[in-house]
């Protein structure tokens, strides 16, 4: 499947929409990965990429916004760490600015499902600036057919800005310049500073 559409991302603050590629086929994503210089093909045709300094998840950089819907519903502690909503908003705006200021580069959107039962599955949308990250989601989540994509509405959105770092992490009281932040009330997560693909999958399968 090679599906492109003029989807509206303005509700996220993303105003550039001329280079949005939605639910590209595996073959096209592989082609984009090689053409973009993001990775190479192995002898058997598998895509190989370098995820930088992170070869696994970074749980110490994962936080949940302390807001109305989560304050009394999360078991706060060393695993579910709090972050102030003001900090989330600051980093969210930084991520959106990165997307809007890179309007010559492509944005890859994957829409799909977590869970097979239509009554209980979660509609997941992932935005990425690297095609291999969309390819990762293409493999990790259930792919919709064309009819399911027509009226697709995301239940949860992940915005991956792996090239963006938080230079103010000490001021924010965070662990490092890498951030994986979840706002359960807004049903949005933002990722920055790490290219490791597992953050997207684990972000949905908490």
Alpha carbons 144 and 151: distance in angstroms, whole number: 11
**Tokens, residue 43:** 């002898």
For every residue of 167-205, DSSP letters joined together read: TTHHHHT-SSS-EEEEETTTTEEEEES---THHHHHHH-
pLDDT exceeds cutoff 80 at 147: yes
Alpha carbons 161 and 163: distance in angstroms, whole number: 6
Query: Alpha-carbon dihedral of residues 5, 10, 16, 21, nearest 10 degrees?
Result: -30
Sign of CA dihedral 160, 181, 123, 135: positive
User: Which position has the token pair 């969210």?
Assistant: 92
pLDDT in tens, 80-133: 999 999 999 999 999 999 999 987 789 999 999 999 999 999 999 999 999 999
pLDDT in tens, 170-199: 999 999 999 999 999 999 999 999 999 999
Q: Can you give the three-state secondary structure of 77-97, one letter per residue?
A: CCCCEEECHHHHHHHHHHHHH
Contacting residues for 30 by C-beta, under 8 A, at least 6 apart: 41, 47, 135
* pTM of the model as a whole: 0.94
Q: Which domains occur in the chain, in start order?
A: 10-204 (3.40.449.10)
């Amino acid at each position: 499947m090679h599906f492109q559409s003029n989807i509206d991302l303005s509700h996220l603050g993303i105003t550039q929409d001329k280079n949005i590629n939605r639910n590209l086929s595996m073959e096209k994503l592989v082609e984009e990965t090689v053409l973009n210089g993001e990775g190479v093909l192995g002898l058997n045709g598998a895509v190989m990429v370098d995820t930088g300094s992170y070869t696994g998840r970074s749980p110490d950089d994962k936080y949940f916004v302390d807001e109305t819907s989560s304050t009394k519903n999360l078991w706060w502690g060393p695993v579910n760490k709090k972050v102030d909503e003001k900090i989330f908003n600051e980093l969210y705006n930084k991520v959106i600015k990165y997307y809007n200021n890179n309007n010559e580069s492509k944005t890859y959107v994957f829409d799909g499902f977590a869970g097979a039962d239509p009554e209980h599955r979660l509609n997941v949308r992932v935005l990425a600036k690297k095609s291999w990250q969309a390819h990762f989601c293409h493999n990790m989540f259930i792919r919709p057919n064309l009819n399911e994509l027509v009226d697709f509405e995301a239940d949860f959105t992940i915005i991956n800005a792996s090239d963006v770092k938080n230079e103010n992490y000490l001021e924010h009281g965070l662990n490092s310049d890498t951030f994986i932040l979840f706002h359960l009330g807004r049903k949005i997560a933002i990722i920055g500073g790490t290219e490791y693909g597992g953050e997207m999958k684990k972000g949905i399968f908490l």
